[in-house]
């Protein structure tokens, strides 16, 4: 296989699906992974990529996924999300476990499994999709804040530890992006999810995908360490200007 290969986790929806499309349009062969294989197969057919089932919280699933990936030049650690906005005083530890497992351990599992292939490519790149929640705490965000802060920490450690290897590491931290994120966070409550974006023009999944595509298009000696991308009307985790 001479074409460069990008692996995108959580590609059945939102930022991951948009990133897969943007990368494919830029010449990458894209391997898309997530739990909803039907969606992935439709996407892979559209972009000429490869669909593989992946549950980043399951060791065996990650091992099977990584074994099926022949070559990996770019890994986009995108699978993740939030559940609930429960205040810390009433913390639901199952919500915390879910968020830690998918965002933190999921990123560790997939990165660890694909690192040998990334390094062997001679010009590997890991892009991890963090969040403004990785930079700033906000009320109701404790579990997600903790998970995204941890994901950011492990991403920065990876950069330090593999500095002598031909590997670039980038963390992209978006603000509000209109995807299925809020629908997942509010357990399918569409009305509540829509309120999150009321009165603002949020980022689209394509806006973030374009940043991923650009980072991956740079010459091998250029490492974008971190990038924050916000809607114009958002200037912090809880600083949002809404039009009436
Ligand atoms: P989304 O539309 O809900 O997409 C989340 C993706 O993650 C889906 O494809 C989902 O696929 C996948 N996923 C969830 N659990 C998984 C698991 N156990 N194994 C494999 N894949 C899994 O949300 P999104 O906004 O695109 O989120 C993408 C990333 O951006 C997440 O890391 C999120 O934290 C981050 N982010 C989002 C926002 C925002 O405002 N939307 C802002 C900052 C950061 P399946 O359900 O099919 O497995």
State which ligand 1 atom lies nearest to the alpha carbon of 196: 40
Residue 39 domain flag = yes
Residue 167 domain flag = yes
CA of 59 relative to ligand 1 center, distance in Å:
19
Residue 222 domain flag = yes
Model pLDDT for residues 25-48, shown as the tens digit of each residue? 999 999 999 999 999 999 999 999
Length of the chain measured in residues: 244
Residue 244 domain flag = no
| 176 CB near ligand 1 (under 6 Å) | yes
Residue 241 domain flag = no
Q: What is the CATH number of the domain that holds 79?
A: 3.40.50.720
Model pLDDT for residues 101-123, shown as the tens digit of each residue? 999 999 999 999 999 999 999 99
Model pLDDT for residues 142-151, shown as the tens digit of each residue? 999 999 999 9
State which ligand 1 atom lies nearest to the alpha carbon of 174: 43
Q: Give the residue numbers annotated as catalytic, written as ranges.
A: 144
Rg of the chain, C-alpha, whole Å: 17
Could you list the residue range(s) of the whole structural domain that residue 130 is in? Answer: 5-235
Based on the structure, what is the number of domains in the chain? 1
Model pLDDT for residues 156-203, shown as the tens digit of each residue? 999 999 999 999 999 999 999 999 999 999 999 999 999 999 999 999
175 contacts 158 by C-beta, under 8 angstroms: no
Q: Which residues make Cβ contacts (< 8 Å) with residue 18, sequence separation at least 6?
A: 204, 205, 206, 208, 209
Q: Which of 11, 14, 171, 231, when mutated, tests ligand 1's pocket best, judged by the most ligand atoms within 8 Å of its CB?
A: 14
| 211 CB near ligand 1 (under 6 Å) | no
Residue 211 domain flag = yes
Residues 28, 147: Cα–Cα separation, whole Å: 30
CA of 164 relative to ligand 1 center, distance in Å:
31
- Tokens linked to 155: 């991403």
- Tokens linked to 228: 């924050």
pLDDT computed for residue 159 by the predictor:
98
Residue 240 domain flag = no
């Amino acid at each position: 296989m001479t074409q460069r290969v990008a692996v995108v986790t959580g590609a059945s929806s939102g930022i991951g699906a948009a990133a897969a499309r943007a990368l494919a349009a830029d010449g990458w062969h894209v391997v898309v992974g997530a739990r909803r294989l039907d969606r992935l197969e439709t996407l892979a057919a559209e972009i000429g990529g490869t669909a593989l089932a992946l549950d980043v919280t399951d060791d065996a699933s990650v091992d099977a996924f990584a074994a099926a990936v022949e070559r990996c030049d770019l890994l986009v650690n995108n699978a993740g999300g939030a559940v609930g906005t429960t205040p810390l005083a009433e913390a639901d530890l199952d919500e915390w476990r879910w968020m830690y497992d998918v965002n933190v351990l999921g990123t560790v599992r997939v990165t660890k499994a694909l690192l040998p292939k990334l390094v062997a490519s001679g010009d590997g790149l890991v892009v991890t999709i963090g969040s403004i929640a990785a930079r700033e705490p906000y009320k109701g965000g404790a579990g997600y804040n903790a998970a995204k802060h941890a994901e950011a920490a492990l991403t920065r450690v990876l950069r330090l530890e593999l500095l002598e290897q031909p590997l670039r590491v980038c963390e992209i931290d978006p603000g509000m992006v209109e995807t299925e994120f809020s629908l997942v966070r509010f357990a399918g409550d569409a009305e509540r999810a829509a309120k999150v974006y009321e009165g603002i023009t949020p980022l689209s999944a394509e806006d973030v995908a374009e940043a991923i595509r650009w980072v991956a298009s740079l010459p091998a000696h250029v490492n974008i360490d971190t990038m924050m991308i916000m809607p114009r009307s958002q200037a912090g985790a809880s600083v949002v200007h809404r039009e009436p």
